Amino acid sequence: MRVPKAGAAAAVIGLALTATGCGGDDGPQGTLSVGIKFDAPGVGYREPGGTFSGFDVDVATYIAKELGYKPEQISFKKVDSSDRELLLQYNEVKFVAASYSISDKRKEKVDFAGPYFTAHQDLLVRAGDNSITKAEDLNNKELCSVTGSTSAQNVKQTLAPKASLLELQTHSECIVALEEGRVAAMTTDNSILAGYAARKENAGKFKLIGLSLSNESYGIGIKKGNKDLQAQVNAALKKMVQDGSWDAAVKKNFGSANFKHDPAPQITTGS
């Protein structure tokens, strides 16, 4: 969850238009461009070898299959929180699956399918630290989050006003700071925290506190007005839950983190 930066987003779009031309997809025989996160293990992550992993990747791949595309026809494009709307508006991607929380403000610019997942703001601490069981325990301690994060501000302003906030550019930098003991906790959506905790290299190092400091309903972002695609994606999401693929994807991406996730949410968009 990050505050949009219009200038940076515009620059990203300019580069994307130069590099890729018209974008979008050419139908079932062409390429389907999908926007995902590249730096959120368990959610959307570009592995060192160039492959992709994460719950959003699995959801996007399932949707693509239902739209008639094979996995090799999918072109995953990196999106940051600040440029998701613009990528859709400029047809650089057909849809966005990138921990994209549905909100009234965002619905002014794009349409959503879903929701397909419910996340909550939580805290990640070192595995052996039992001093933090609630947000208020962060008072007089260091808290890390990405620059401009609404998660950190929620803690700082309302839950633990005496906490010291360390803002870094990426979640990965916060993980390093937490492991090195420079901060007592890291905060963002629990899905992202669980993804980091579930990485093999992090086994046994971290634990989620299990708080629900906010409610985030993840939706699939679609260009404004594309009701046909919205209906198709909603149908795919419903089928994914019904045939067990949704549960399998959750277990695959978050299981080793002992992540207590919410059940699949009811589809509320497009009605």
Q: Note the pLDDT tens digit of each residue in 173-229.
A: 999 999 999 999 999 999 999 889 888 889 899 999 999 998 889 999 999 999 999
Residue 12 shares a structural domain with residue 99 = yes
Lay out the sheet containing 164-168: strands in order across: 164-168, 142-146, 185-189, 121-126, 206-208
Q: Is residue 180 part of a domain?
A: yes
Query: Does residue 268 sit within a domain?
Result: no
Report the greatest alpha carbon distance in the chain: 58
Burial of 109 (0-12, 13-18, 19+ CB in 10 A): middle
Whether 136 is in a domain gets the answer: yes
Statement to judge: residues 222 and 101 lie in one domain: yes
In a domain, 196, yes or no: yes
pLDDT of residue 16: 42
Please report, for the domain that includes residue 161, its CATH number.
3.40.190.10
Residues 6+ apart with CB under 8 A from 210: 122, 260
Instruction: Name the residue among 33, 52, 32, 31 with its Cα closest to residue 43.
Output: 52
For all residues of the chain together, what is the average pLDDT? Answer: 87
Do 89 and 223 meet the contact criterion of CB atoms below 8 Å apart? yes
- With respect to residue 53, please indicate whether it lies within any of the assigned structural domains: yes
Q: Residue 56: left if φ>0, alpha if ψ -120 to 50, beta else—which one?
A: alpha
Termini Cα distance of the chain: 26
pLDDT of residue 271: 65
Same domain, 105 and 20: yes
Taking the model in full, what pTM does it have? 0.79
Same domain, yes or no: 91 and 125 = no
Instruction: Tell me the one-letter amino acid at 206.
Output: F
Query: Which of 35-39, 145-149, 256-260 is the most confident on average?
Result: 35-39
213, part of any domain = no
- 113 and 126, same domain (yes or no): no
The tens digit of pLDDT for each residue in 47-75 reads: 999 999 999 999 999 999 999 999 999 99
Range of the domain at 19: 6-117+218-257
Indicate if the pLDDT at residue 80 is higher than 70. yes
Q: Please indicate, yes or no, whether residues 151 and 32 belong to a single structural domain of this protein.
A: no
Is 1 part of any domain?
A: no
How many domains are contained in the chain?
2
Same domain, 79 and 181: no
Same domain, 91 and 140: no
Least confident range from 5-9, 162-166, 228-232: namely 5-9
In the chain, the amino acid numbered 198 is: A
Q: What is the pLDDT of residues 102-142, one digit of tens each?
A: 989 899 999 999 999 999 999 999 999 999 999 999 999 99
Res 260: pLDDT = 80
Residue located via tokens 């302003």: 157
Residue 228 within a domain = yes
Residue 6 has pLDDT above 70, yes or no: no
Residues 126 and 113 both lie in one domain: no
Do 43 and 92 belong to one domain? yes
- Whether 228 and 198 map to the same domain: the answer is no
The answer on 225 and 96 residing in a single domain is yes
